[in-house]
Amino acid sequence: MERGRGVTPTSRGGPAPSWIRTLDAPADVWAVFLQARRRDAHVYVGDVHAPDAEMALLLAKENYTRRDPCVNLWVVPAREIRATSGDAAEMFEPATDKSYRFGGSYRQQQRVYRGGYHIAPTEDER
């Protein structure tokens, strides 16, 4: 099997884990990713409706590269995008407290974490 192809959990023969979900999108919807400069990452910019990849690239070029710089476009069938489910939020919680990595004073951090930190009201709100 080629590297990077066909390695989704469902293609290995077993059911997909409960934390993986597929996007419910029509077959003609393509997600568009744009790379503004060579060293930049590709960024999701929107969707196009097209019957095939060639038409999707053409529509993406027409819709998303008119005003903004672009050196590369990707189009991906939206049905092929895999995402984590809402139940998987705890999976992204850090294992240990590493608040010492954040800038600012310790006391201010503790106020933020405990919910005691509020933005000062503006002149109109006073």
Handedness of CA 88, 92, 93, 95 (dihedral sign): positive
| Angle (nearest 5°) at CA 91 between 29 and 14 | 65
Tell me, rounded to whole angstroms, the distance of Cα 49 from its chain centroid: 20
pLDDT tens digits along 9-25: 555 566 777 778 777 88
Q: Which of 9-13, 46-50, 59-63, 84-88 has the lowest mean pLDDT?
A: 9-13
What's the pTM value of the predicted model, to 2 decimals?
Answer: 0.59
Map residue 80 onto helix, strand or coil: helix
Domains of the chain: 19-120 (3.10.20.520)
Nearest to 43 by CA among 12, 6, 67, 68: 68
The pLDDT tens digits of the residues spanning 71-116 come to 999 999 999 988 887 777 777 777 777 766 766 666 666 676 676 5
